[in-house]
Amino acid sequence: MALVTGASRGIGAAIATRLAAEGAAVAVVARTLEHHDRLPGSLSETVARIRAAGGRAAAVVADLTEPSSRTRVVTEAQAALGPIDVLVNNAAAAYYLPFERVTEKRYRIAFELNVRAPWELAQLVVPGMRSRRRGWILNVSSATAAPPTGVPFSGFHTHGGALLYGTTKAALDRFSAGLAAEVFADGIAVNSLAPVAAVRTPGVEALGMLPEDRPELIEPMEVMVEAALALVTGDARTLTGRVVYSRPLLAELGRTVMTLDGTRPFAGAA
C-alpha cells in the first residue's frame, strides 16, 4: 500500500493515480475532502478517479502542519488499506516572499509541512517496513534547494523570494540521504526527487511561476511521475540515497515515460 500526501491535485494526485494504475492500493492525504480554495482538484476527485479506473483508494483528511495529525494519518491509512510499503511525502507549503517579509507563522508552517511532517511520517512507517524488510520513501523536493551561484546572482534569486522554500527543501534533501544510510541494511530505499523544470500544476499556475515564454522550461507531469514511480519500485539495494532530478534519472535508467494510466508511452516526453 502507498501513502501519498498532498494528493488533492498536482504532482501528488498524479503520483497516486499512477501508483494505483500499477496495482497499488493508495491512501491519499490532504487538508479537506472537497474543494477548499480557488484551485481545481480535491481529495474526493482523486479517490473517485482511481476507483473509476478499477483501483483501490482511501482518503485521509488531515492538516499535516499539525503534529497531532501525523499518527492519525498512518493509523487511518493502514486501517483502510493495510501495511504501508510506500510513503510519498509530497505535501508542501511554497511561500515565495523576500526574506524580510517572512512572518513567524509562515516560517513555522513551511518547516512543519516541508520538513517535520516528512520526518515524523517516516518515523511512523519505518518500523513496519523494517519488520517486513522492504519499503520505499520518496520525498518530493525542488530545484530551489540548490544554493544560488554568483556573483552576479540571477534575477530569480535576487527577486524570486525562494529563500524559505528552498531552505526547507535543502533540509529535506539532506534528510533523505541521511535516512537512506540509516535504513539501508533493512531493505528500505529513501530518495529525494525534484523536477528539472516547472511542472504545470494548479498551484504553480496560481503563483504565476510558469515561464510561458520558455516552453522548454516547463516539464510534463508524466516525466515527474515516471521518475517517482522508478524510485518507489526500484531495487532498494542500489537505487537509494539519491537526491535527483526527474529527466536525468530517467535517462540514466533508460526508462520510457508512460501516460498517467500506465498504458502507453507518453508522446510529449521529448
- Supply the CATH number for residue 15's domain: 3.40.50.720
Q: What percent of the chain stands above pLDDT 70?
A: 91
Query: Closest Cα partner for 120 from 132, 111, 108, 130?
Result: 111
Q: How many domains does the chain have?
A: 1
pLDDT at 208: 53
In-domain check, residue 65? yes
258 in any annotated domain: no
> 267 in a domain, yes or no?
no
Residue 40 confidence (pLDDT): 75
Contact 23, 10 (CB under 8 A): no
For the cut 60, the answer to whether the pLDDT of residue 173 exceeds it is yes
Residue pair 247/240 in contact by the 8 Å Cβ criterion? no
Q: What cell does 11 get?
A: 504532482
Q: List the single range of 13-27, 87-101, 203-217 with lowest mean pLDDT.
A: 203-217
Domain assignment present for residue 56? The answer is: yes
Residue 119 resides in a domain: yes
Mean pLDDT of 191-209: 70
pLDDT at 50 over 60: yes
**Cell numbers for 193:** 526527487
- In a domain, residue 266? The reply is no
**40, part of any domain:** yes
Average pLDDT over residues 171-179: 98
Catalytic residue among 95, 96, 165, 245: 165
How far from chain centre, in Å, is Cα 228? 8
Residue 248 DSSP SS3? helix
Please confirm, yes or no, whether 107 is among the known catalytic residues. no
In the structure, how many helices (H) and strands (E) does the chain have? 10, 9
Tell whether the model's pLDDT for residue 213 goes beyond 90.
Answer: no
State the residue range of the domain holding 191: 2-253
Residue 170: name the closest of 145, 194, 203, 191 by CA. 145
Q: Counting every residue, how long is the chain?
A: 270
160 lies in some domain:
yes
CA contacts within 13 A on the Cβ side of 22 = 21
